[in-house]
Chains A and B, each alone.
Chain A
Amino acid sequence: MSALRILVPVKRVIDYAVKPRVNKAGTGIETAGVKHSMNPFDELSVEEAVRIREKKRAPGGVEDITVISAGPAKAQEVLRTAMAMGADRAIHVDVKEGEDLEPLGVAKLLKAATAEHQSNLVILGKQSIDDDANQTGQMLAALLGWGQATQASKVEFGADDSVSVTREVDGGVETLKAKLPMVITTDLRLNEPRYASLPNIMKAKKKPMEKKTLADYSIANDKRLKVLKVEEPAPRQGGGKVEDVGGLVGKLKELGAI
């Protein structure tokens, strides 16, 4: 059984609790001065990687957990958070604010990073809560020619590099069996991410953070999608309140809903 070398990509996004505002020019979302944090699905990926090691779930053990993020200098903050949660090292790939890679570009970057770090397991969030694309993990698996298990709610390791993954599908769950190397994307039910403790935050400051550029991985940021405009959705007007169930039923009849 090979030892696990886990790569965990993380993304810095606007905090999930913040209501995003469209910028005045209608070209994107206002990000300046807005609270950012690690994409919630990526927290689950980091947590899972760390738990696999802590609970000794993989017969071959965990040799390394590397976190990687492509983004502006502030992406280093989420990488530090991931290291405070238990990752060993981080790679920050510098990409200017507003020049984010598309999922295909990220997948190409990650392919190069898996080769560099000899990763045999990549755990990604199933989607980022800003772009909501739900693509990167699947694209990475395709480029590597590896098996994929998306929307994972349970991951178990067996003998001979076998991995069994329960995934959330429409109408229930299904279980797949795959072999390393593979790509897994996380669903919310996978685990509950820990809070990094202060001592671990301090320790994380000493963990290695490599700084790279797209050129180091021979990746060009060629965009295939052009954002023509970003707008607020049509506002929905609340229709007011009623006194009792009779009023509720009456209003629903009036609206033609029942």
Chain B
Amino acid sequence: IRPAITVAARSVRLSASLRHQLSTLAILEHRDGQLNAGSLSALTAAQKLGGPVHGFVAGGDATTAAQAAAKLEGVEKIISVNNSAYDKGLPENFAPLLVENIKKGGYTHVVSVHSAFGKNLMPRVAALLDLQQISDITAVQNENTFVRPIYAGNAIATVESSDPIKIITVRGSAFPAAVTESGSAAVEEGVDPKAESATEWVSEELTKSDRPDLATANRVVSGGRGLKSKEEFDRLMVPLADSLGAAIGASRAAVDSGFADNSLQVGQTGKVVAPQLYIAVGISGAIQHLAGMKDSKVIASINKDADAPIFQVSDVGLVGDLFEEVPKLTEQLKK
């Protein structure tokens, strides 16, 4: 009994001292000074940890981004590093930048959204600090304990970290975005180690669209292999999306067949979405697709196969030929 008491006493002392010092740095993504909606979820997750939250922005437009970030609810201070070397988010120089600012600020938690940028960067930061990152969390239980889906969301693990600093990425769809308030947090200049990057950014090709961003949209209409061709995908899905003001998604089968761009893929290996409404058209509902959308509030599906697994998770299903039903649906929604 005695050793158990000692261990318990020590862990209580430890957690009390940690609580005392707990402070979190939330990495805020931005493009040309405009804050990324997904990273506002990281800020909400950071607030759930309980301590003061600082935001971090870097890049040539960091000042603009910092001013916007300073108005966000629940943020005490913004650390800003103005240097265009960080514009492309190259982890080779961004990771050392974060490491220096984490050390300087004495943070116990560092949080980013599990976006392409966060996934690329945060493990590099963790390894430089000899820490084991906790990826894609969906809930914070306490300062050491986090919930995360594994096996494409087929199991939910609760994990406790013993690392002195927790490096965390969060699932954007699991935390509401922090809201903008009129408040104004202090903006402080961060340290800039000016590390060199071994890689050089050459170019990018982004899908231009006026539609809401897939990852954060309230409504998503998603097409699968059943649409048969890119022409049919565009002919049927675009008007349907327009009638709802929805973002367009796609299954891996549709992406692999060239019906839709890769960046529209919903699933374990693509985007994870949790909109108010998800309409699955011609999608069978494979495990890896369900991993990306089964936390949607309402799921509707149209499929000609009455036994398709998608119907098992749909709140409302329509068995029928999508080439007939989708135009009818679009018509009715327009009214």
Contacts and interface: CB of A to CB of B under 8 A. Distances in A.
A145 B198 CA distance: 9
A88 interface: no
B300 A252 contact: yes
A20 to B, nearest CB: 4
Interface in A135-188: 135-143, 145-151, 153, 164, 168-179, 182, 187-188
B159 interface: yes
Contact of B133 (A133, A141, A178, A242): A133
B120 to A, nearest CB: 5
Nearest to A139: B127
Interface string A88-114: 000000000000001110010000000
Nearest to A127: B269
Interface of A: 14, 16-17, 19-20, 22, 29, 102-104, 107, 127, 129-143, 145-151, 153, 164, 168-179, 182, 187-189, 223-233, 236, 238-249, 251-252, 255-258
Given A102-B132, A224-B132, A257-B300, A233 B263 contact: no
A188 B269 contact: yes
Given A178-B198, A230-B150, A139 B126 contact: yes
Contacts of B312: 236, 238
Contact of B198 (A147, A229, A246): A147
Helix, strand, loop or mixed for chain A's interface? mixed
Interface stretch (B178-186, B201-209, B222-230): B201-209
A170 B216 CA distance: 12
> Which 4 residue pairs of A and B lie closest in terms of their CB atoms, listed nearest first?
A147-B198, A138-B123, A224-B132, A142-B127
A41 B115 CA distance: 18
B152 interface: yes
A247 B151 CA distance: 35
Contacts of B329: 245, 248-249
Contacts of A175: 201-204
Given A129-B268, A147-B92, A233-B153, A242 B276 contact: no
Contacts of A228: 145, 158-160
Contacts of B276: 257
Chain B interface residue count: which class? Answer: 35 or more
B317 A188 contact: no
A233 B174 CA distance: 14
B199 A149 contact: yes
B333 A170 contact: no
B264 to A, nearest CB: 10
23 contacts: A20-B151, A103-B132, A103-B133, A104-B131, A132-B136, A132-B149, A132-B150, A132-B151, A134-B123, A141-B124, A142-B127, A150-B120, A168-B262, A170-B115, A170-B215, A171-B207, A174-B205, A176-B90, A225-B162, A228-B159, A240-B316, A241-B311, A241-B317
Contacts of A248: 300, 302, 316, 318, 329
Contacts of A231: 155-156, 158
A252 B124 contact: no
Contacts of B158: 227-231
B35 interface: no
B318 A246 contact: no
B177 interface: no
B116 interface: yes
Nearest to B269: A188
Given A240-B316, A249-B332, A131 B150 contact: yes
Given A137-B123, A164-B202, 16 more contacts: A130-B151, A132-B151, A135-B126, A139-B124, A142-B95, A142-B127, A148-B199, A174-B202, A182-B199, A188-B256, A226-B162, A228-B145, A232-B156, A239-B316, A251-B300, A255-B315
A188 B252 contact: yes
Interface of B: 38, 88, 90-92, 95, 114-117, 119-128, 130-136, 145, 149-163, 197-207, 213, 215, 244, 252, 256, 261-263, 268-269, 271, 276-277, 287-288, 294, 297-300, 302, 306, 311-320, 325, 328-329, 332-333
Contacts of B271: 170
A236 B313 contact: yes
Contact of B263 (A14, A170, A238, A243): A170
Nearest to A130: B151
Contact of A150 (B119, B294, B306): B119
Which of B150, B261, B277 has the largest number of chain A CB atoms within 10 A?
B150
B135 A134 contact: yes
Given A148-B91, A258-B277, A224 B319 contact: no
A227 B157 contact: yes
B287 A245 contact: no
B128 A225 contact: no
A26 to B, nearest CB: 10
A75 to B, nearest CB: 18
A224 B131 contact: yes
A241 B316 CA distance: 6
Nearest to B36: A170
Contacts of B201: 174-176
Contact of B317 (A14, A242, A256, A257): A242
A186 to B, nearest CB: 11
A102 B256 CA distance: 32
B123 A139 contact: yes
A171 B126 CA distance: 26
Contacts of B315: 238-239, 251, 255
